[in-house]
Chains A and B, each alone.
Chain A
Amino acid sequence: MSSRRERDTLGEIEVPAAALWGAQTQRAIENYPISGYRAFPAFIRAFVRIKRAAALANGEAGRLDERRKDAILAACDEVLAGKHMDQFVVDVFHSGAGVSFHMNVNEVLANRANQLLGGGLGTYEHVNPNDHVNMAQSTNDTTPTAMRLALLELTKTLCVELDTLADAIAEKASRYADTVKPGRTHLQDAVPITFGQEFSGWAERIRGAAARLRAARAELCDLGIGGTAAGTGLNADPQFRERVCVYLAEWYGEPIKPAKNLFSAMQSMAPFVRIASGMRTAAIEVSSICNDIRLLVSGQVIGNDTAVAYGAQPASSS
C-alpha cells in the first residue's frame, strides 16, 4: 500500500496515501489496537454536525472566511449523506477525553475540504484541521457535546419503539378485557384477574419506561459547547455557543441550549449515568415482561403442579 509522509508536533509519520485521515489519527491507529470496535455512526454524525455548526458560527463571527467555511460545510454534508464513513478508524477504546477520535474527525473534514478546494491530501494548504475545522473548540467541550447529541438521536428512536410496543400491548389488553383466569402470586394460584388487566400493567410499565427516558433526555439538551478546553470559553467568540446551539437545536429537533454552567457540563458524567439508568430500567421492564410471557406460554402439558412443597406459612390475603 502506497503511503504519504505527514508531520505533526511529534515528528513525521507514514499515512496511507488515499486516507482522508492524517498524522494524529495514524498515531491513534498504532497506539490503540484495543477492541476492533469503531465509533457508532450516530456519534460520527454528532461530531460532524458540531463541526458544521461551528463553521457557520465562526463565519458569522467573521473569523472564518467564506471559501474555507463553504468547503468545510461541503465536507460535512458528504459525511452526513453517508460518505467517507470508513475513514473514521480510531478504536472506540482510546485515551481519556477522546482526543484521537476528535482529531480523526478534524483531519477527515480538513482533507476533504482541501480536496474540494483543489488541494492535495495531507497538505492542509487551504484548510487546517486544528486552525479551521476545530476553530473555537476543544476535545473537552466537543466530546461531551457529541456524546449528548448521539444519545439524543439514538434514544429518540428508542422512545418511539417503546411507545409503539406499549400501544401493541394495550391493543391486546382491550381485546382480552373480560377474559378471566386465575391470578398468580409466588407462581401459585391466586384470586382472579383478566388478561386485559395483566396486559394493561405491561403497557403501563413500558409507558413508564419511556417517560423516564424522556426525562433523562431533557438533561442531554444542555450543551457545554463553547467552553473550549477548560470551560472558560477562551478562543471562542462570545456568541459562539449560542449560535452553535441554535443550529443543533434545529437539526436535531430538540430544545438544545447552552448549559447554565460550562464547567459542570464538562466535568460531570451524571447526565450519561442518568440516561444509562433510564435504558437499564427499560431493559429490566422488558425482560421482566418477557419472563411473564415465558410462563404464560410454558408447557405444553408438563410443568404445572408436578411437585408438592410442605406448608411453611399461609398467605395473608383473606
Chain B
Amino acid sequence: MMPGINFANCFSATILTNAVRVLREKTIAGLEVDEDRARELMDASPSLAVTALSPHIGYAKAAALVKQALAERRPLFDVAKDAKIMPEKDLRRVLDPLPMTKGGVQD
C-alpha cells in the first residue's frame, strides 16, 4: 500500500508542478485582453440595464427597455435615449459600467 501511495503523491506533485509552470509560461504570460471587443460587448449587452435603470424608472419599465433592445438588436443606450426617460447626459452617467464594478448602491 505505502509504495503505491508514495508513487501517486510523487507523480501528482511532479505533473502538477510542470503543468503550473507551463500554464504560466505558455498561456498567462501571453494573455491579452481585447479591449475594443470588451467595450463592444459592454455596449451591446443589456446586462447592466435593469440594475442601473431600476432605481430611476422602476424595474418593470427598465425590463421592458431591455427586452426591446434585445428584440431590435440595438444597444440599450440608444433605445433608452429614444424613450426619453432622462436627459442624455444623465443616461450616459447612469449606464457607465465602470462605477458599477465598485459595488455599493449606485446614485
Contacts and interface: CB of A to CB of B under 8 A. Distances in A.
B101 A155 contact: no
A151 interface: yes
Contacts of A158: 13, 16-17, 20
Given A143-B2, A150-B10, A180 B17 contact: no
A164 B101 CA distance: 27
Contacts of B9: 147, 151, 272, 275-276, 279
B28 A151 contact: no
A193 interface: yes
Contacts of A37: 7
Contacts of B46: 189
A164 B45 CA distance: 35
B47 A192 contact: yes
Contacts of A279: 9, 12-13, 16
Contacts, number: 138
Given A158-B20, A162-B20, A192 B48 contact: yes
Given A96-B2, A147-B5, A317-B51, A195 B38 contact: yes
Interface stretch (A48-56, A58-66, A128-136, A168-176): A168-176
B98 A194 contact: yes
Contacts of B28: 165, 168-169, 172
Contacts of B59: 318
A290 B22 CA distance: 12
B98 to A, nearest CB: 5
Given A165-B20, A181-B41, 17 more contacts: A147-B9, A150-B6, A154-B10, A158-B13, A168-B24, A172-B31, A182-B41, A183-B47, A189-B46, A190-B47, A192-B97, A192-B98, A194-B101, A272-B6, A276-B9, A279-B16, A318-B51
10 contacts: A143-B3, A165-B23, A168-B24, A172-B28, A179-B38, A180-B97, A191-B48, A192-B47, A272-B5, A276-B12
A193 B14 contact: no
Interface of B: 1-14, 16-17, 19-21, 23-24, 27-29, 31, 33, 35, 38, 41-42, 45-48, 50-51, 54, 59, 97-98, 100-101
A95 B17 CA distance: 29
Interface residues of A, number: 56
Interface of A: 37, 40, 42-43, 92-98, 101, 143-144, 147, 150-151, 154-155, 157-158, 161-162, 164-165, 168-169, 172, 176, 178-183, 189-195, 197, 269, 272, 275-276, 279-280, 282-283, 286, 290, 293, 317-318
Nearest to B7: A92
A18 B13 CA distance: 34
A195 B33 contact: yes
Contacts of A280: 12
B7 A178 contact: no
Contacts of A282: 16, 20
